[in-house]
Structure formats: C-alpha cells, structure tokens
C-alpha cells in the first residue's frame, strides 16, 4: 500500500491567492482527517470525514477554509483567500474505523508571502 | 475539554540509555491512545496504539503503557540509539478525534 498521499509537498503563494491541498487516503479507510501543525499551536485537527461525510469541522479556523470529500479516495482542503498566518504544515490522515489507528501523509508545507 | 501534556519537553541522552517519556491527559474517557514519532520536516509515523481496554503494547525496543484511571501513559525506549532521535507525540482519542500532546524532543548522541 502506498500510504496516505498528499500533494503538493510544498506550496509557496502570495497573500490573497487561492490554495488547494489534496489528499488520497489509504484504500479501504473510512475516515479522513485534516490537521495543521505550527510551532506555536502544535497539531490541530481542522476537520474530519467519515464515509465521505464531514462530521466535525469545529477546528476550521475561518470561512476562508473549506474541505470536501467527493469520493472515498480523494479530499481537498481549500483556503481562499490565503493569508500569511495560514503558513503551516498541513497533514492528512486516514484510518479504517473512526476510533482506530491513524496513518498520516507526508504533509504539505504551505508558505503564504 | 481534553488536554494532553508531555513531559519532558526535551531530552538529550547518550546512546544505550533506557528512556521513559511521559504523557498525561485530563479526561479518562478515551477510546485509545496512540504514540507517534516525527522526524524534522517529516510526517508522523505511528509507533503504538493502545486500546482503552489494554494496559500496554510492545513493538521491538518500544513499550507503551496506559493507566486510564490516573490519566497517564508512558513510552519506554530500551537501549536508545542515535536513530531514535526525533520528536515523540502522544495522542488520545475522545469520541472520534485525536487530541495531541505537545511532544518530547529526543536527542540520542553517540
């Protein structure tokens, strides 16, 4: 199995631009999670899906952030418009059951200038 | 609200030492607890998962214990090696969500 796949691995953009991060979970996993990691705040859960349905988006910082999971093998996290304070590493993770072991992707390092 | 704390924040030891990393959580109503390793600039690698009904899990030189009643978990690393140098994170599952600790940055020097 290839594990959780994220793209791009690095993204540098200018303030105000739209950013789209992509994630492919491990095949057969029913839950998908988006996290953000910064030095100041550590790892924070942004949103998670169970069977493609958003279950809890209370961690999404603002309306500028949105996430979709159109099918079991693909999810996007979009930031529009982006701001410098959005600079962080964004991780996607999946697990076979909602309370099972989570497997993380390599992350996307986002820099907003 | 669940809070997860890890002590110490950083640790530097010579190769060969046995180590104990600590994790504490405020709400004992957890489904499971997971230990991760993160290398600089990399993602998280799952090390061990302890279900709430279990007391410990072992994988190679790693042993993790869980005491739900006291809200504590420990990660024991035997015979540490320079390759063990990384940040170690514990995370508890409340309902469906992982709540992460602040991490322990470990450096093992030759």
pLDDT at A98: 59
Cβ burial, residue A47 (10 Å; 0-12/13-18/19+): buried
Rg (CA), chain A: 13
Chain A, nearest residue to B93 by Cα: A99
Q: Which helix (H) or strand (E) holds A91?
A: strand A88-95
Each of the 110 residues of chain B gets a pLDDT tens digit; together they read: 889 999 999 999 999 999 999 999 998 888 899 999 999 888 899 999 998 889 999 999 999 999 999 999 999 999 999 999 999 999 998 777 789 998 999 999 99
Pick from A21, A30, A28, A29: nearest CA to A92? A21
pLDDT at A16: 96
Those residues whose C-beta lies under 8 Å from the C-beta of residue B72, and which sit 6 or more positions away, are: B22, B23, B24, B25, B66
pLDDT at B95: 72
Q: How confident is the model at residue A67 (pLDDT cuts 50, 70, 90)?
A: very high
CB A107 within 8 A of CB A89: yes
Residue A30 exposure: Cα atoms within 13 Å on the Cβ side: 9
pLDDT at A97: 75
Distance from CA of B101 to the nearest CA of A (A): 8
Total residues found in chain B within this entry: 110
Mode of pairing for the β-strands spanning B104-109 and B10-14:
parallel
Q: Do A101 and B34 touch (CB under 8 A)?
A: yes
Q: How confident is the model at residue A37 (pLDDT cuts 50, 70, 90)?
A: very high
pLDDT at A94: 94
Distance from CA of B93 to the nearest CA of A (A): 7
Partner residue facing A105 (CB), from B32, B43, B102 = B43
Q: Do A99 and B43 touch (CB under 8 A)?
A: no
Those residues whose C-beta lies under 8 Å from the C-beta of residue A8, and which sit 6 or more positions away, are: A21, A22, A108
Look over chain A and give the mean of its residue pLDDT values, rounded to a whole number: 93
Main-chain dihedrals φ then ψ at residue A41, nearest 5 degrees: -115, -5
pLDDT at B33: 94
Give the residue numbers in A contacting B (CB under 8 Å), as ranges.
Answer: 31, 33, 42-43, 45, 48, 50, 55-56, 91, 93, 98-107, 109
Partner residue facing A48 (CB), from B36, B97, B103 = B97
Q: Looking at chain B, which runs of residues are DSSP E strands?
A: 4-7, 10-14, 19-25, 32-38, 44-51, 56-59, 62-67, 72-77, 86-94, 97-100, 104-109
Residue B106, token pair as written in the block: 């470990």
């Amino acid at each position: 199995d290839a594990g959780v796949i994220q793209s791009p691995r690095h993204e540098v953009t200018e303030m105000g631009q739209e950013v789209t991060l992509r994630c492919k979970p491990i095949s057969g996993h029913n839950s998908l999670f988006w996290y953000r990691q910064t030095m100041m705040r550590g790892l924070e859960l942004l949103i998670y899906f169970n069977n493609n349905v958003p279950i809890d988006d209370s961690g999404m910082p603002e309306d500028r952030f949105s996430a979709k999971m159109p099918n079991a093998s693909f999810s996007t996290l979009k930031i529009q418009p982006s701001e410098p304070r959005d600079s962080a590493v964004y991780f996607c993770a999946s697990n076979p059951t909602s309370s099972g072991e989570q497997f993380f992707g390599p992350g996307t390092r986002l820099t907003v200038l | 609200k669940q809070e997860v704390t890890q002590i110490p924040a950083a640790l530097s030891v010579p190769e060969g030492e046995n180590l104990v990393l600590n994790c504490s959580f405020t709400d004992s109503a957890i489904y499971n607890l997971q230990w991760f390793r993160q290398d600089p600039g990399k993602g998280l690698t799952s090390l061990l998962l302890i279900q709430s009904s279990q007391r410990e899990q072992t994988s190679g030189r790693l042993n993790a214990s869980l005491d739900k009643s006291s809200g504590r978990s420990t990660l024991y690393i035997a015979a540490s090696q320079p390759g063990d140098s990384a940040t170690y994170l514990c995370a508890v599952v409340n309902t469906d969500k992982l709540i992460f600790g602040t991490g322990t940055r470990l450096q093992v020097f030759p």
